Chain A
């Protein structure tokens, strides 16, 4: 069955520290997509990245980087030199096509609350 596990409920770091948010997933399919979203206190979910199951290249975008490892079913997210504005809840999500309908089903992890202290 599909499952997304974010074992870290809450992380606190001091500004400028690096922090890694863990995401482990389970899926039966070979074709799937993984996502990260940021939810600041305002409540809106902001899309950060999508990665498909055939693309294991790591990605860097500014201070953000993502490490996708199929061998360990992990899709971890690192923020370098964290800032107070990074404080938010971060969600990892998995989607795969439903066999019968072909529509996509999305499963979200429970989220990791990141607090960056000045």
Chain B
């Protein structure tokens, strides 16, 4: 497995502002993902963070709203831009490792937009 650290763990944000979430992994990983989990819901993949190139976004998610950086194989950031209350969610960083590419998750970042 891997140790995946996310910051911030929680935040309360004003609508219209942006927040950047950081994800640090204790080893180099190829596959890194960002998920969103809205209250009481399942996980939805936002994008795959590709090292050295633009992220690959899933349907319904766009770079302007969720810009992602992946400068190296151990670090990534997700920015939630121009936030609205609908963006209140847990945002989870995850990495794929080992046979079967098991994905492991960070502790999550709980964002509340007021």
Q: A42 — nearest CB in chain B belongs to which residue? A: B107
Name the one of A47, A95, A103 contacting B104, with C-beta atoms under 8 angstroms.
Answer: A47
Q: Chain B interface secondary structure, helix, strand, loop or mixed?
A: strand
CB distance from B26 to the nearest CB of A (A): 16
Residues of B within 8 A of A50 (CB): 100, 102
The distance in angstroms between the C-alpha atoms of A91 and B37, with both chains bound, is 12
Q: A113 — nearest CB in chain B belongs to which residue? A: B40
Q: How many residues of A contact B (CB 8 A)?
A: 20
CB distance from A104 to the nearest CB of B (A): 5
Judge if B53 is at the interface, Cβ distance under 8 Å: no
CB distance from B91 to the nearest CB of A (A): 10
Asked whether A43 lies within 8 Å of B102 as measured between CB atoms, the reply is no
Residues of B within 8 A of A37 (CB): 105
Asked whether A108 lies within 8 Å of B43 as measured between CB atoms, the reply is yes
Asked whether A43 lies within 8 Å of B104 as measured between CB atoms, the reply is no
The distance in angstroms between the C-alpha atoms of A44 and B110, with both chains bound, is 11
Q: B58 — nearest CB in chain A belongs to which residue? A: A105
Residues of B within 8 A of A108 (CB): 42-43
The distance in angstroms between the C-alpha atoms of A12 and B42, with both chains bound, is 19
The 6 closest A-B pairs by CB, nearest first: A45-B105, A33-B100, A43-B108, A104-B101, A108-B43, A44-B107
